[in-house]
Amino acid sequence: MAVQPIIQIRGLVNRFGTQVVHDGLDLDMNPGEILGVVGGSGSGKSVLLHTILGLRQATAGSVRIHGKDITSMDRAQMLDIQQRWGVLFQSGALFSSLSVLDNIQLSMKEYTRMAAATREGLANLKLQMVGLPLSAGSKFPAELSGGMVKRAALARALALDPPLLFLDEPTSGLDPISASEFDELIAYLRNNLKFSVFMITHDLDSLFNICDRIAVLVDKRMVVGTLDEILANTHPWIQRYFHGARSRAALGVKE
């Protein structure tokens, strides 16, 4: 394929003392796809995300984003990459001292020169996109419900129209209705705005319904494939994960 992967990880090793979390992990993510990342608790999903985001220095290996290695990057290059991704943290991580609208506008203020009114209009547009009422903009994170926090955090992640979006368990803690609405929202936005989504999730419904491919973190490495390929995989952990009672139920719903 001639298309350059948007994320390309080669031979990634992460080690804490004697404990090896990743051992020669490879992963390619194509532009425009929604990649679901699964793995057992403690399998190193968060460590992987932190490594890709540059929050953690890998023990060995390379991580390329937009074709550039983030492990050997100066500040200016990193800043450029950082402005072209959006991250939705598991708990939202909205800045509690800023209103929702200010949260969304924070990076716009820092990195673009726009009239204040335009910026606010744009922030309101993001609110509208994620399905929040405009009155939510003046609220503070502590005043929002769990589902609204996730939506507001998504709006903040989308602030600079990034081509790459990281979602860390976006539907955890949401009721099934809100969770499936959130899934639909992500799929809808991706289909219309053409960005790539790297999504860590435990939600089998999201995996089966909106992910184009699934990456499974087992034995310190990645097993990547479409849903059907993963379902056909014979690894015992993958078998148990995707053929357990919950999984069969979710699959049944889909079919």
Partner 1 sequence: MTYLHVHKSAEGIRVEVTGDWTIANAAGLEAELDTLPLQLDIPVCFQPGQLTQLDLTGAWLLWRKVKELQDQGQQAELANFDSKHFKFLDDLPEPQEELEGHHLPGLRAGLAGIGRFAIREKAQNAAALAFLGRIFSSLVRVAPHPHRWRFKDIAHHTYATGIQAIPIVALIAFLISIVLAYQGADQLARFGAKIYTVNLVAISVLREMGVLLTAIMVAGRSGSAFAAQIGFMKINEEVNALSTMGFDPYEILVIPRIVALVIVLPLLTLLADLMGMVGAGFLSVYMLDLSMTQFFHRAIDSIGLNTFLVGIVKAPVFAFLIGFIGTMRGMQVSGSAESVGQQTTNAVVQSIFLVIMADALFSVVFSWIGF
Output the CA–CA distances (angstroms, integers) from residue 167 to 86, 133, 207, 240, 243, in the order listed: 9, 22, 13, 25, 25
108 binds partner 1 (CB under 8 A): yes
- When the beta carbons of 114 and 232 are compared against partner 1, the nearer one is 114
Binding mask 146-175 for partner 1 (x = CB under 8 A): --------------xx--------------
Q: Min. distance of Cβ 84 from partner 1 in angstroms?
A: 10
71, 90, 124, 178: which one binds partner 1 (CB under 8 A): 124
The answer to whether 116 contacts partner 1 (rule: CB under 8 A) is no
- DSSP strand pairing (19-29 vs 196-200): unpaired
User: Counting contacts by CB under 8 A, is residue 125 touching partner 1?
Assistant: yes
Q: Is 138 in the site for partner 1 (CB under 8 A)?
A: yes
Pairwise CA distance, residues 219 & 233, whole Å: 14
Instruction: Compare residues 54 and 131 and give the one whose CB is closer to partner 1.
Output: 131
Q: State both tokens at 115.
A: 């009239």
Q: Tell me how many residues contact partner 1 (CB under 8 A).
A: 31
CB atoms within 10 A of CB 231: 16
Phi, psi of 189 (to 5 degrees): -65, -45
User: Phi first, then psi: what are they for 36, rounded to 5°?
Assistant: -90, 130
With a CB cutoff of 8 Å and minimum separation 6, the contacts of 142 are 96
Q: Which spans of this chain sit near partner 1 (rule: CB under 8 A)?
A: 96-97, 108, 111-115, 118, 121-122, 124-125, 128-129, 131, 133-135, 137-138, 140-143, 160-161, 191-194
